[in-house]
Chains A and B, each alone.
Chain A
Amino acid sequence: MMSDAAFRILSIVSIAATIVCIAIHFACCGRKRRAAGPSGGAADMQRLGGLTRLAVIGTVLTGLVLAVTGLAPTVVFGERLEGYLLMCHVGCGGAFAVLLALTAALLADDCRFRRHDAKCCTGEGGGRPSGKFDAGQKAAFWLLLALGLVVVLTMVLSMLPIFGPDGLELMRDIHRCCGLLMLLIALVHCYQTMTVCRGRWSSLLSGKVNSDWARHYRSLWWQAVRGEEGK
């Protein structure tokens, strides 16, 4: 079993390492990629539907609450999650599970890996053509979904009279490690999407993106949408 102190160290080190890696990446190549892309312009292309936006925003918000309530007691105070924070964590956990499943159902088709995603991975094709979501986003999506499944399952199984205290401790360790991993992936995803690709938080609310931005970063999707409009 992992002690609370060990998890505290793991959390601090992994979060710090991720941030450092992001900083290094930004300094080395992220800044150049960011500079190469378009900036500004009106959001004129509908990318996400209303329900999808609602699901994503809900997932993000509940995920944030879970991250704070789950990690703060251990990382900041060196204490076990209990009391009111635990209640808040469990309550939000239920909502998170539902919203994550809904988000997954709404975005799964758009996040299917396709042939061009492999090109993106291998660097073939130069311009890295991508659909509505690029390969990095899709990878993040499926990873978050897989980890989310583990997180939700460990939570549900812990509430059933199946495992003894040792088994429940193992469940808790898996739960919090997967939760931590989700947080790290979310951090990288946010960096990639918001900083490198110059995405906007506002597009989450409006569901729209700028067409120049789409043509540069999501060329296949842009072409498909324009093709549809042409018809």
Chain B
Amino acid sequence: MKTPTANSEGRGSGSGRRAAVTAAVAAAIALTVCPAVPAAAEAELQVSPDPSRTDPIHRIPIFDEENGTIRPDADVVRPMSGRVTCNKCHNYEKISGGWHFNSTAAGVEAGRPGEPWIIADMATGTQVPVSARGWKGTWKPEDVGLSAWSFVRRFGRHMPGGGVGENHPVEQLDPASRWTLSGNLEINCLGCHNGSPRQDQAAWAEHVVGRENFRWAATAACGIAFVDGRTVKLPSDFDPVTGTQPDYPAWVPTVTYQPGAFNPKDEVFFDVRRKMPNGRCYSCHTAHPAEQDERCVAEDIHTARGFACTDCHTNGLDHRINRGYEGEPGGDVTRTCRGCHLGEASAVTVSGREGGHMAAPRPKHAGFPQVHFDKLSCTACHSGPRPREKTSRVQTSRAHGLGYHAMAFDPNNAPIIQEPVFVPGPDGKLAPHRLMYPAFWARVREDGKLTPMLPEQVADLTGWVLRVRPNVVPKPPTVEKIVQALRILGEDQSAGEAVYVGNGKVYRPGDGNSLLTSEHEAAQPYVWPIAHDVRPTAQALGYGGAAGCQHCHSTDSPFLFGQVVAAGPTEVDAEQLLPMEQFTGEDATYHKLFSTTFVFRPWLKLTAGAAACVMALLLLAYGLAGVRVLLRAFGWKAGE
């Protein structure tokens, strides 16, 4: 690949000569900061990461999406393009195949189920797990009527860009899409890699979801520019090429780079770190127990010890991030719990086989029979909140918009997610999971399958039954409202029977204000494993000798006999309590009986220990004496 030269036709790029000089400077910097780049006449893209351990200095010219060099003093100042700017040294195409961007790419293994995107709306009682990866229990975007455009508009706030944000084939274009106005949602490289405290992901969310300024979002978020204007207000026939429109001056997006952001050579310094700050990851990957004061939430033991997320979740230039579970397709076996703490026999390197990566201590697990390790994942005892009598609600960045000022934070907001629920993972081992019961309105197809309806469709069709006035906190729909809405939706028989799914059941209108219930596969809960936060050893289940056994082996152990709250954003069958064994698949009767034996276990140890002492004394007193007698009988004498 060749380093593209500055485009002399690029708007706002100044004269062709100046652009050529800038391009030469860019190439020189690229060669300087990236030693892996061959010193060829034309710089080539870096194909492997720079192995130096120092933080790579990124003092670079920046380019717009048409490869024009950006200068703050140009007539028309355009937003920076990560695709063009970063691609000067880092192979953007290769990066765009990474885990964060490849959910819709062909031939990518889905891997272990993870947190889905969730279409959530309290007013209509909707929470639908969506994933293009096809995880069982999720809906693909197209199955719920989401085009690439509507998907990005809905979830772009927490997308890192790329993927469907820029790869949206023309044939799949949504008639309602406005890509020509908004621009592509390119990968927001600085969203993850910027070490500057000015990186503002809330601004990213606002420009993607609130303003439809896809093209400008990364620039607005990275802290070197102020972006104004709202593409969302521009009419669909607005010509983005002309740049300005007298009729809509305030809505046309404009960029104002901060004074001092550029040096005299029109270069910008980006605080790109080798180890990106954990806060960058937390923007999208925070989970918070809803019923807990944030001051009481403990940090993951690894980050508390100074780890960066990327110490375990490593990746190469291809950005195939190591998710860190055992059996991950293409994953790094040395960067799992086992890999670091015990060593992985299948590792290629000796250190990988021995473990101890990043000074990981080797656990003793004294008194834990092997069956624990055969039946439980490491996370079962070490991760997530400690199990209590009932599961509790959790909120996540992506599901509830934690950390985004524009989103109203309400602990009661949908979606309603419960944790920890112990469910066997793909390897058959029990692991803590988060659980969400899907809730949605749907049409029943001829084959009996359900087609979910988007909440806005339902609200449009049912009028004020399921709508709330602006600035009013929505409440979950009542039985009466659901019956009423189902009757309204049922008027259009040609579209198929209307049903409501929630709390593990399918509801149809019955007599009066009653609902008829039935079972359906689509109503089953979606679960995904909890990996973090990892608790310190002293807070792990089973820690503390014999007393630790009773964390699980007691008749009221939350781990085995806790209750799972089956709750959705509806008042129908609200907050059913289901026994944990329904999810673990374990025999509760056996475990109750087995737990009861732990009451007598101290006595067993004492009695058996005393018996062993008696036997040992008898052996010493009689056995040895008998042996002496026999030896004498055979002619042996002491001293011989």
Q: Tell me the chain A residues, 99-154 only, with Cβ under 8 Å from chain B.
A: 100-101, 104-105, 108-109, 111-115, 117-119, 121-122, 138, 142, 145-146, 148-149, 152-153
Which of B612, B630, B633: most chain A CB closer than 10 A? Answer: B612
Q: Which residues of A contact B373 (CB under 8 A)?
A: 165
Instruction: Knowing A98-B607, A105-B614, A149-B612, say if A113 contacts B626 (CB, 8 Å).
Output: yes
Residue of A nearest to B375 (CB): A82
Determine if A161 and B366 form an interchain contact, defined as CB atoms under 8 angstroms apart: yes
Q: Which of B470-478, B486-494, B590-598 contacts A (4 or more CB under 8 A)?
A: B590-598
| Distance between B89 CB and nearest chain A CB, rounded to angstroms | 48
Q: Does A156 contact B (CB under 8 A)?
A: yes
Residue of B nearest to A171 (CB): B369
Q: Does B618 contact A (CB under 8 A)?
A: yes
Q: Which of A17-25, A84-92, A192-200, A205-213 contacts B (4 or more CB under 8 A)?
A: A84-92
A149 to B601, CA, bound (A): 19
| Distance between B309 CB and nearest chain A CB, rounded to angstroms | 29
Determine if B622 and A118 form an interchain contact, defined as CB atoms under 8 angstroms apart: no
Instruction: Knowing A84-B590, A164-B368, say if A97 contacts B622 (CB, 8 Å).
Output: no
| Distance between B617 CB and nearest chain A CB, rounded to angstroms | 9
A112 to B587, CA, bound (A): 50
A152 to B322, CA, bound (A): 46
Residue of B nearest to A109 (CB): B622
Q: Which residues of B contact A90 (CB under 8 A)?
A: 597, 604
| Distance between B382 CB and nearest chain A CB, rounded to angstroms | 15
Determine if A162 and B629 form an interchain contact, defined as CB atoms under 8 angstroms apart: no
A160 to B619, CA, bound (A): 24
Partner of A87, one of B367, B370, B593, B618: B593
A121 to B623, CA, bound (A): 17
Determine if A87 and B594 form an interchain contact, defined as CB atoms under 8 angstroms apart: yes
Determine if A115 and B611 form an interchain contact, defined as CB atoms under 8 angstroms apart: no
Q: Does B297 contact A (CB under 8 A)?
A: no
Determine if A111 and B622 form an interchain contact, defined as CB atoms under 8 angstroms apart: yes
| Distance between B176 CB and nearest chain A CB, rounded to angstroms | 58
Determine if A138 and B612 form an interchain contact, defined as CB atoms under 8 angstroms apart: no
Q: Which residues of B contact A122 (CB under 8 A)?
A: 634
Partner of B630, one of A104, A113, A145: A113
Q: Does B364 contact A (CB under 8 A)?
A: yes
A162 to B367, CA, bound (A): 6
Q: Does A69 contact B (CB under 8 A)?
A: no
Q: Mask for B609-637, Cβ within 8 A of A = 1, else 0?
A: 11110111011011101110110111000
Determine if B629 and A115 form an interchain contact, defined as CB atoms under 8 angstroms apart: yes
Q: Does B365 contact A (CB under 8 A)?
A: yes
Determine if B614 and A114 form an interchain contact, defined as CB atoms under 8 angstroms apart: no
A80 to B374, CA, bound (A): 11
Determine if B633 and A145 form an interchain contact, defined as CB atoms under 8 angstroms apart: no
Q: Does B605 contact A (CB under 8 A)?
A: yes
Determine if B629 and A145 form an interchain contact, defined as CB atoms under 8 angstroms apart: no
| Distance between B495 CB and nearest chain A CB, rounded to angstroms | 52
Counting chain B residues whose Cβ lies within 8 A of the other chain, the interface size class is 35 or more
Q: Mask for B11-54, Cβ within 8 A of A = 1, else 0?
A: 00000000000000000000000000000000000000000000
Determine if B608 and A97 form an interchain contact, defined as CB atoms under 8 angstroms apart: yes
Determine if B634 and A118 form an interchain contact, defined as CB atoms under 8 angstroms apart: yes
A149 to B616, CA, bound (A): 7
Determine if A168 and B369 form an interchain contact, defined as CB atoms under 8 angstroms apart: yes
A100 to B615, CA, bound (A): 8
Determine if B622 and A112 form an interchain contact, defined as CB atoms under 8 angstroms apart: yes
Determine if A152 and B627 form an interchain contact, defined as CB atoms under 8 angstroms apart: no
Instruction: Knowing A161-B545, A163-B366, A164-B366, say if A145 contacts B605 (CB, 8 Å).
Output: no
Determine if A152 and B597 form an interchain contact, defined as CB atoms under 8 angstroms apart: no
Determine if A156 and B622 form an interchain contact, defined as CB atoms under 8 angstroms apart: no
Determine if A156 and B366 form an interchain contact, defined as CB atoms under 8 angstroms apart: no
Q: Tell me the chain B residues, 529-574 only, with Cβ under 8 Å from chain A.
A: 545-546, 548
Residue of A nearest to B596 (CB): A87
Q: Does B348 contact A (CB under 8 A)?
A: no
A95 to B612, CA, bound (A): 12
Determine if B618 and A118 form an interchain contact, defined as CB atoms under 8 angstroms apart: no
Interface of B is mostly: helix
Partner of A145, one of B363, B619, B627, B632: B619
Determine if A159 and B604 form an interchain contact, defined as CB atoms under 8 angstroms apart: yes
Residue of B nearest to A161 (CB): B367
| Distance between A80 CB and nearest chain B CB, rounded to angstroms | 8
Determine if B601 and A82 form an interchain contact, defined as CB atoms under 8 angstroms apart: no
Partner of B601, one of A104, A159, A165: A159
Q: Does A37 contact B (CB under 8 A)?
A: no
Q: Which residues of A contact B1 (CB under 8 A)?
A: none
A51 to B619, CA, bound (A): 21
A194 to B144, CA, bound (A): 78
Q: Does A158 contact B (CB under 8 A)?
A: yes
Determine if A101 and B605 form an interchain contact, defined as CB atoms under 8 angstroms apart: no
A220 to B629, CA, bound (A): 17
Q: Does A83 contact B (CB under 8 A)?
A: yes
| Distance between A3 CB and nearest chain B CB, rounded to angstroms | 12
A153 to B613, CA, bound (A): 9
| Distance between B381 CB and nearest chain A CB, rounded to angstroms | 13
Q: Which residues of B contact A168 (CB under 8 A)?
A: 367-370
Q: Mask for B406-449, Cβ within 8 A of A = 1, else 0?
A: 00000000000000000000000000000000000000000000
Determine if A101 and B614 form an interchain contact, defined as CB atoms under 8 angstroms apart: yes
Determine if A93 and B608 form an interchain contact, defined as CB atoms under 8 angstroms apart: yes
Q: Does A155 contact B (CB under 8 A)?
A: yes
Residue of B nearest to A159 (CB): B605
Instruction: Knowing A113-B630, A118-B633, A118-B634, say if A149 contacts B615 (CB, 8 Å).
Output: yes
Q: Which residues of A contact B608 (CB under 8 A)?
A: 93-94, 97-98, 152, 155-156
| Distance between B637 CB and nearest chain A CB, rounded to angstroms | 14
A105 to B619, CA, bound (A): 10
| Distance between B3 CB and nearest chain A CB, rounded to angstroms | 55
A144 to B36, CA, bound (A): 72
A–B complex contacts, Cβ < 8 Å, 20 sampled: A84-B593, A91-B597, A94-B608, A100-B615, A112-B625, A115-B629, A117-B633, A118-B634, A122-B634, A148-B615, A152-B615, A153-B612, A156-B608, A161-B367, A161-B548, A162-B367, A163-B367, A164-B368, A168-B369, A172-B369
Give A residues with C-beta under 8 Å from B: 80, 82-84, 87, 90-91, 93-94, 97-98, 100-101, 104-105, 108-109, 111-115, 117-119, 121-122, 138, 142, 145-146, 148-149, 152-153, 155-156, 158-165, 168-169, 172
Task: Give the top 9 A-B pairs by smallest Cβ distance, nearest first.
Answer: A118-B633, A161-B367, A113-B626, A101-B611, A97-B611, A101-B614, A161-B366, A149-B615, A97-B608
Give B residues with C-beta under 8 Å from A: 363-373, 545-546, 548, 587, 590, 593-594, 597, 601, 604-605, 607-612, 614-616, 618-619, 621-623, 625-627, 629-630, 632-634
Q: A101-B614, A159-B605, A160-B367 are in contact. List 15 more A-B contacts (CB 8 A).
A: A80-B371, A98-B608, A108-B622, A114-B629, A118-B634, A119-B633, A142-B619, A142-B623, A145-B615, A145-B619, A152-B608, A160-B605, A164-B363, A164-B368, A168-B368
